[in-house]
Chain A
């Protein structure tokens, strides 16, 4: 079985630009959660997609948006990038939300300059 794949691994963007991060969930998993991890901090919940519907959102502004596709892969879009958006973005997939635990991707390191 394949794990969770995130792309790209690293990205540098300019303040004000838009970015799309991608996550391929583990085979058979129908739930994808996105987390933001600032340097030296624990990850913070952005939102979750379950069977193509948003299923909960953390304390992030609307310029953070997402999508889940019929094959359960997912995208995280961030508009109007700010310097504070620089972080590691982690994707975690699971089956039926968390019954069997989570599988994490290696993350996308986003730097906003």
Chain B
């Protein structure tokens, strides 16, 4: 079993829909990161959180430390949101990131 599990693996939505991507982890962490990766590889950090909830524009990230679970929500989805969304957790003495396999999101117009 991977230390970081994401669901779903693939998600197709219509423009305007509310989207939720889930992440569960099995290890102790210092923080949880949500990242966005576009074709070609570059990764953009969306959120880093260790408790509660964060919001940036149409993106909302929540974390429940007791349940070891986090969700990434996208409100009013748009085709430009199409990307791979990756959950990663950091911990240990060097805060290295352990990544989930990612969720491929496709938003159709």
Contact = CB atoms under 8 A, between A and B. Distances in A.
Interface of A: 33, 35, 37, 40-45, 48, 50, 55-56, 58, 88, 90, 92, 94, 97-98, 101-107, 109
A104 B96 contact: no
3 smallest CB-CB distances across A and B, nearest first, come from: A42-B99, A56-B94, A106-B42
A5 to B, nearest CB: 11
Contacts of A44: 99
A50 B92 CA distance: 14
7 contacts: A33-B96, A37-B41, A42-B100, A42-B102, A45-B97, A94-B95, A98-B95
Contacts of A41: 101
Residue of B30, B33, B41 most packed against chain A (CB within 10 A): B41
A23 to B, nearest CB: 13
Interface stretch (B43-51, B64-72, B75-83): B43-51
Contact of B45 (A33, A88, A90, A101): A101
A97 B30 CA distance: 12
B99 A43 contact: yes
B96 A45 contact: yes
Interface of B: 4, 30-31, 33, 35, 40-45, 48, 86, 88, 90, 92-102
Contacts of A88: 41
A41 to B, nearest CB: 6
A107 B41 contact: yes
A104 to B, nearest CB: 4
Contacts of A37: 41
Contacts of B86: 42
Nearest to A105: B42
Contacts of A40: 101
A56 B97 CA distance: 11
A43 B87 CA distance: 11
